[in-house]
Amino acid sequence: MTSLKAETMILISKTLYAQYINCLKKNNVAADQCQVYVKWLRYFLDFCDKHVITPDKSERIRFFTEKLREKRQSDNQCQQAAHAISLYFEMQGMERPPENSFDEPNREPHQIAERETVPQVFDEKFAPSAEFTSFKPRQSQYLVAGYQEKSSSPEWDELIDKLADEIKVRHYSRKTLKTYAHWSRQFQRFLKNKSPQELSTADVKEYLTYLAVKCKVAASTQNQAFNSLLFLFRYALKREFGILKDVPRAKKSLYIPMVLSMPEIEAILKQLYYPYNLFVKVLFGCGLRLFEGLQIRVSDFNFDAGKLLVHGKGKKDRMVPIPEAITQELKVQIEKVARLHEQDLATGYDGVFLDDEIEKKYPKAPKEFMYQWVFPQQSLTVMEETGKRRRYHLHESQLQGALYHAVRKAKIPKKVTAHTFRHSFATHLLQANYDIRTIQTLLGHSSLKTTMIYTHCVPVRTVKEAKSPLDFDA
């Protein structure tokens, strides 16, 4: 194990530590190997915390040992690690995580753990009660966006700060801030910290030419870089961008979305476990983008009217029907969230994450039930700047990891992402002869041209299908 890096890992509770040591003694593990087994357990819990895989214990052990081999651990070490985890599962006496993982008292230890460095096993002050979930340090989302990272050029740092201020004033998304800051930094590196005051249209032409000719980037990537630099010049530098001529542009090809049939979707759902199976049903049943599904709050559901309020791209809200097939499941989910909320209030948490403007206007809102996430993280998050303990929604990587393995276990030979279910939603409505403008409204598209791409996916049988006059009925 000496070749593995001593990185931060799960800190197991004192109770679990004692139980595991007793289990090792009962199974005749040598005394000098007990701490090695404990370390393997902590590596495993840390691995499960970072990579959502499968509830099947044998599959989890297999994925874990594969990861160890990637880290150049020997066969003997991998066998020892597998034995350590097998004993842990034997001690736990459960095959899969409980369905009601929000309020089940017998949660897995990595769900009630704190992160510490490898040499430590437990610490009294961090030993959580049965009601606590884990706490993870988290930077503010604007810090995550990367614009506050400093470079060797104070002039460029000041310019990026101005860029961020202009984006915030316009209430653009944090992803937009992250993307624009990224391309501005790439532009800075390309020009080797050339003074911002000396920037010209020629520099932009040279950089875009470099992306197209040398890097051979996709058309969408080149357009993203172009729009980022356009915003940088126009609003941060306060100067006109100029006319770009003779700049090679990546040719944009016709994109036909990947869609799934109903049997394929059902096969994937069978391989997903709670809460990801319900989450995917919401994505497909309502035609949501990934971030739209993650950010659903309790107040967004109107079960009496059968409608879901979706907070879409560009701060544009829309209403979509709640699928009747999963209405009861959603009500049960909200009941679980209610119980989790009561536990959080009892432990004195600081509420969920809200947009800054809402929290400033309504300071008590983060703790109110109506603002709770419908798909919350199992762990509380500690804000590094303030020390407050907050609850975030499921992270997109967790769903993506679970979906990745579900698709492969279902043996679907297609590239399936969370967005594939949105494509499938639109395509299935087209096949059912729904009007294209109705689908546009449900998807939240500003332009009908965007929705029309789905007409390329499958043949659509409508009364307006092209037909030769010779074939008309007499």
What crossing angle do the helices spanning 396-409 and 418-431 adopt, rounded to 10°? 70
Catalytic option among 390, 422, 423, 428: 422
- What confidence score (pLDDT) does residue 378 get? 80
CB 320 within 8 Å of CB 287: yes
Q: Is the peptide bond before 154 cis (omega within 30 degrees of 0)?
A: no
Peptide bond before residue 275 is cis, with ω within 30 degrees of 0: yes
pLDDT for residue 114: 38
Angle of helix 276-286 relative to helix 418-431, nearest 10 degrees, comes to 40
Tell me the domain boundaries of the chain.
9-130, 143-236, 262-409
Q: Provide mean pLDDT across the span 228-232.
A: 93
Q: Are 340 and 332 in contact (CB under 8 A)?
A: no
Active site residue 419: yes
Q: Of residues 189, 234, 270, 313, which has the active-site annotation?
A: 313
Q: Which distant-in-sequence residues (6+ apart) come within 8 Å of 327 by Cβ?
A: 303, 306
Rounded Cα distance between 252 and 230, Å, is 20
pLDDT, one tens digit per residue, over 101-121 is 444 333 444 443 433 333 333
Lowest mean pLDDT among 40-54, 164-178, 375-389: 40-54
- Dmax over CA atoms of the chain, in Å, equals 92
Active site residue 311: no
Least confident range of 56-60, 76-80, 139-143, 201-205: 139-143
- pLDDT tens column, 449-458: 888 888 877 6
What whole-number distance in Å separates Cα of residue 461 and Cα of residue 100? 43
Whether 142 sits among the annotated catalytic residues: the reply is no
CATH architecture, domain defined by 262-409: Orthogonal Bundle (1.10)
Identify the bridge partners of residue 11 per DSSP, sorted by sequence position. Answer: 114
If one compares 115 and 90, the residue with the highest pLDDT of the two is: 90
Residues in Cβ contact with 329 at an 8 Å cutoff, skipping those fewer than 6 apart:
278, 281
Amino acid at 255: Y
- Bridge pairing between strands 376-383 and 135-138: parallel
Give the single-character DSSP code of 255. Answer: P
Q: Judge whether 185 and 160 are in contact, CB under 8 Å.
A: yes
CA–CA distance, 136 with 131 (Å, rounded to integer): 16
Residue 464: the pLDDT is 52
Residue 113 is predicted with a pLDDT of 40
Among 103-112, 148-157, 221-230, the range with the most confident prediction by mean pLDDT is 221-230
Is residue 182 part of the annotated active site? The answer reads no
Comparing 171 with 88, the larger pLDDT belongs to 88
- Our answer to whether residue 289 is catalytic in this structure is yes
Q: What CA–CA distance (Å, rounded) separates 321 from 284? A: 12
* Mean pLDDT, residues 280-293: 96
**Gap between the terminal Cα atoms of the chain:** 82
Task: Pick 240 or 137 by higher pLDDT.
Answer: 240
Q: Which of 445, 456, 461, 467 is catalytic?
A: 445
Rounded to the nearest 10°, the torsion over CA 203, 207, 210, 216 is -160
Given a cut of 50, whether residue 45 has pLDDT beyond it is yes
Please tell me the least confidently modeled range out of 124-128, 266-270, 326-330, 377-381. Answer: 124-128
pLDDT in tens, 68-81: 887 888 888 999 99
Count CA atoms within 13 Å of residue 56 on its CB side.
10
Q: Which segment of 88-92, 175-179, 369-373 scores lowest on mean pLDDT? A: 88-92
Band (9; pLDDT cuts 50, 70, 90): low
Mean pLDDT of 363-389: 88
Alpha carbon distance 278, 27 (integer Å):
40
Identified catalytic residue from 110, 281, 289, 391: 289
Q: What is the mean pLDDT of residues 231-237?
A: 92
- Element (DSSP H or E) covering residue 317: strand 317-321
Strand extents, DSSP E, 324-470: 376-383, 389-393
Rounded to 5°, angle at Cα 192 from 186 and 198: 100
Mean pLDDT is lowest, of 11-15, 106-110, 308-312, for: 106-110
Confidence band, pLDDT 50/70/90 cuts, at residue 4: low
* Residue 145 or 384, more confident: 384
Residue 310 DSSP class: E
Q: Is 422 a catalytic residue?
A: yes
Identify the H or E element spanning 161: helix 154-169
Q: Which segment of 95-104, 153-162, 317-326, 349-358 scores lowest on mean pLDDT?
A: 95-104
Query: How far from 457 is each of 421, 439, 443, CA to CA, in Å?
Result: 14, 15, 16
More confident residue, 279 or 219: 279
For tokens 């932009």, what's the residue?
A: 204
pLDDT value at position 53?
54
Distances (CA, A) of 27 to 84, 104, 210, 465: 11, 28, 63, 71
Q: What is the DSSP string of 399-429?
A: HHHHHHHHHHHTT--S---HHHHHHHHHHHH
pLDDT tens figures, 390-410: 999 998 988 998 899 899 999
Looking at domain 143-236, its CATH architecture is Orthogonal Bundle (1.10)
Res. 11: pLDDT tops 80: no
The Cα 399–Cα 277 span in angstroms is 10
Paired sense of beta strands 307-311 and 301-302, if any: antiparallel
